[in-house]
Amino acid sequence: MHPIQVLERYWNYTSFRPLQEDIINAVLDNNDTFALLPTGGGKSICFQIPALIKPGLCIVISPLVALMQDQVNTLKQKGIKAIAITSGLSYNDLDTQLDNCIYGNYKFLYLSPERLQQPIVQERIQQMDVNLIAVDEAHCISQWGNDFRPAYREINVLRQLKPSVNCIALTATAKENVIVDTISALDFFDLKLFKASFYRENISYQVTHTEDKNFQLKLLLNENKGASIIYVRSRKATLELSNYLKRNGFEATNYHGGLSTSEKKERLNDWTTNKTPIMVATTAFGMGIDKADVRSVIHYNLPESLESYYQEAGRAGRDGKKSIAVILKKNIDEDKLKSQFLSVLPTVDVLKHVYKKLCNYFQISYGEGEYTSHLLNFKDFCKTYNLKTALTYNALKALDTNSIISLEQQFNYRTTIQFKISNHELTNYLIANKNQNVVIKSILRTYGGVFDFITKINLDIIASKSEQDVNTVIAILKDLQNQNIIELKIANTDSEITFIKPREDEKTINPIVKNIQQQQKLKQEQIDAVIAYTNNTETCKSIQLLDYFGEKTPDNCNICSVCLSKQPEPKSTKEDIKIAVLELLKQKDVSSRDLLAKLNCNQNLLLEVIGTLVEDEKIKITSTNTYRIND
> Which tens digit of pLDDT belongs to each residue from 521-555?
888 999 999 999 999 999 999 999 999 998 888 78
> Which tens digit of pLDDT belongs to each residue from 111-156?
988 888 888 999 999 999 999 999 998 888 886 766 677 778 888 8
CA distances from residue 144 to 34, 175, 292, 513, 523 in whole angstroms, order as listed: 17, 9, 31, 16, 10
Q: Are residues 227 and 177 in the same domain?
A: no
Q: Are residues 23 and 58 in the same domain?
A: yes
Greatest mean pLDDT among 144-148, 380-384, 464-468, 600-604: 380-384
Per DSSP, 231 falls in state E
Strands 192-195 and 108-111: what pairing?
unpaired
* Residue 437, domain member (yes or no): yes
Share of residues in the chain with pLDDT > 70 (%):
96
Q: Are residues 54 and 111 in the same domain?
A: yes
Model pTM?
0.73
What was the pLDDT predicted at 570?
A: 59
Asked which of 166, 195, 224 is the last residue of a domain, the reply is 195
What was the pLDDT predicted at 306?
A: 93
User: Distance between CA 495 and CA 408 in Å, rounded?
Assistant: 6
Three-state SS string over 374-402 comes to: EEECHHHHHHHHCCCHHHHHHHHHHHHHC
What was the pLDDT predicted at 142?
A: 80
Letter for the amino acid at 491? A
Q: Are residues 348 and 251 in the same domain?
A: no
What was the pLDDT predicted at 412?
A: 60
Q: Are 108 and 51 in contact (CB under 8 A)?
A: yes
Best CA proximity match to 387, nearest among 340, 351, 341, 335: 351
* Residue 133, domain member (yes or no): yes
Spatial strand order of the sheet with 405-419 comes to: 372-376, 486-499, 405-419, 455-457
Q: Domains in the chain: how many in total?
A: 5
Q: How many CB atoms lie within 10 A of CB 73?
A: 12
* Residue 386, domain member (yes or no): yes
Mean pLDDT, residues 590-609: 79
Average pLDDT score over the chain: 88
* Residue 116, domain member (yes or no): yes
- Which residues sit opposite 193 in a β-bridge? 34
Phi (first) and psi of residue 21, to 5 degrees? -65, -40
Which CATH number does the domain housing residue 605 bear? Answer: 1.10.10.10
What was the pLDDT predicted at 78?
A: 93
Q: Are residues 501 and 449 in the same domain?
A: no
Mean pLDDT, residues 295-300: 97
Mean pLDDT, residues 374-398: 90
What was the pLDDT predicted at 364?
A: 94
What was the pLDDT predicted at 489?
A: 83
Greatest mean pLDDT among 146-155, 189-198, 506-515, 527-536: 527-536
Q: Are residues 108 and 234 in the same domain?
A: no
Q: Are residues 603 and 507 in the same domain?
A: no
Q: Does residue 447 surpass a pLDDT of 90?
A: no
* Residue 489, domain member (yes or no): no
Q: How many CB atoms lie within 10 A of CB 462?
A: 24
Return the percent helix, strand and coil in the chain, to nearest 5: 50, 15, 35
Q: Are residues 212 and 292 in the same domain?
A: yes
Per DSSP, 570 falls in state P
Higher pLDDT, 63 or 62: 62
Q: Are residues 137 and 216 in the same domain?
A: no
- Which residues sit opposite 619 in a β-bridge? 629
Share of residues in the chain with pLDDT > 90 (%):
44
Q: Are residues 399 and 469 in the same domain?
A: no
Asked which of 146, 168, 195 is the last residue of a domain, the reply is 195
* Radius of gyration of the chain from its Cα atoms, rounded to whole angstroms: 28
* Residue 567, domain member (yes or no): no
Asked which of 143, 164, 195 is the last residue of a domain, the reply is 195
Q: How many CB atoms lie within 10 A of CB 261?
A: 17
> Which tens digit of pLDDT belongs to each residue from 569-595?
655 578 888 888 888 888 888 888 788
Which CATH number does the domain housing residue 260 bear? Answer: 3.40.50.300
Best CA proximity match to 184, nearest among 151, 156, 144: 156
What was the pLDDT predicted at 288?
A: 65
Element (H, E) at 412: strand 405-419
Q: Are residues 500 and 593 in the same domain?
A: no
User: Distance between CA 287 and CA 63 in Å, rounded?
Assistant: 12
Mean pLDDT, residues 209-214: 91
CA distances from residue 590 to 116, 213, 621 in whole angstroms, order as listed: 65, 20, 10
Residue range of the domain that includes 595:
573-629
* Residue 491, domain member (yes or no): no
* Residue 579, domain member (yes or no): yes
What was the pLDDT predicted at 87?
A: 62
Q: Are residues 207 and 190 in the same domain?
A: no
